[in-house]
Amino acid sequence: MTKKYFGTDGIRGKVGTGLMSPEKVLKLGWAVGRVLASQKNGSNKKVVIGKDTRISGYMFESALEAGLSAAGVDIELLGPMPTPGIAYLTRTLRASAGIVISASHNPYYDNGLKFFSAQGEKLDDEVEHAIEEMFEAEMEIVDSAKLGKARRVGDADGRYIEACKATIPMNIRLNGLKIVLDCSNGATYDIAPKVFTELGADVIAIGDQPDGLNINYQCGSTDPAHLVTRVKVEGADLGIAFDGDGDRVLMVDNHGEVVDGDVLLYIIARSRLQQGEDIGGIVGTLMSNLGMEIAVKELGLGFERSNVGDRYVLEMLNKNNWKIGGESSGHIICLDRTTTGDGIVSALQVLAYLIQEGIGLHQAKSGMSQFPQVMINVPLTGNADPMQSAVVQQSVKQAETKLNGRGRVLLRPSGTEPLIRVMVEGEDELLVSQLANDIAAQVTQAAEAA
């Protein structure tokens, strides 16, 4: 069944439109309370709520609180907290479910809702369908004596900080490492500097002054240019950039070169092998660089591609009983350490490997060569699908012929924004760029004609 409201990562949209209005979010809270809490045995029905730093989070937090209370569910408020921290606390606080108020890497004027099961994992399709059905039902408020109560969790930050630190060996210290942290003016702004400082690193924090409007603005993993500059200016060993809700991470080496999620996956996989751990194989996505696939296979590991989206990476990991997977965007899942993508935890896995091997990030990534890859986002203005255009399909076939089996072409709609992503990958950088621009131009024309 096609879902009506849920996308690849929960529900997301511009604040004040569609489902992202206070009255709709209130009813969503009620629907979630009715569906998720009813799956937990016993009378302890409880949902935790956390958020990133965008200004609309206050409004939606209150709306969710009202809706959940109307469903007879207690609420525990975590405040600003990285998405993976909310997943962790959902599990450890023995809640029925967890809700994240965030639009991840989107601008401040967007917001969204992500949901976790009692196990701290993304919801199954069946549960999302049930929530959609309940959302369209008439809202019935429980008797006043059964309304849910709300409280704030005072030690949420400390719990999650200790959980992050526990994902690397006790003997690993980051003393002597000078690190620039870009917190994207988002959910990691307070927690991430504490994690790395407590482990002994010399931390220089940027993007750590959120004002409700500057989340993801010219900072973070989606725009690491400022981080690159600061790493060079400070003479730092490396830089780490998170996105607005802290489930993605990119890094910058001491040469100022950006290290994306594909390379970080490769480094983590190699680390696990050298520690004698059996991880089976690596799951990438349709967007993962061909160079990463080749390098992983050279390590003797299996490699498979899922659809784009961390939920699909997770599904394939569970299907194969593998432990490590992720996306080039830096959304990395280490199931041997946690239940969902976690930017801080992923960064710590890389740093632990650097300390154990006595090498720098630049050297650690030398075992993998990435193919030139160009991705162009083409905005959509209507409901038509330009990917069905005969002209667009012909341009893709022509590009594939020119790549002659030594590259890939991929067109896909974004799951979170009104965009068509055009990706071309191959050995010849000039050819790749030319083909990507040619296809993007055809997609734009087809979209405008429709």
Q: Which of 438, 435, 439, 413 is nearest to 425 (CA)?
A: 435
Q: Which of 210, 243, 13, 211 is nearest to 110 (CA)?
A: 13
Contacts of 174 (CB under 8 A, 6+ apart): 196, 199, 200, 201, 351, 355
Contacts of 376 (CB under 8 A, 6+ apart): 421, 422, 436, 437, 440
Q: Which of 69, 104, 288, 328 is catalytic?
A: 104
Residue 53 token pair: 């730093």
DSSP three-state, residue 325: strand
Phi then psi for 397, rounded to 5 degrees? -60, -40
E strands within 302-426? 302-306, 324-326, 332-334, 373-379, 407-413, 419-426
Residue 326 token pair: 């992720």
By the 8 A CB rule, do 1 and 127 touch? no
| Residue 307 DSSP class | -
By the 8 A CB rule, do 111 and 20 touch? yes
Does the active-site annotation cover 104?
Answer: yes
By the 8 A CB rule, do 189 and 212 touch? no
What amino acid positions are annotated as catalytic residues? 104
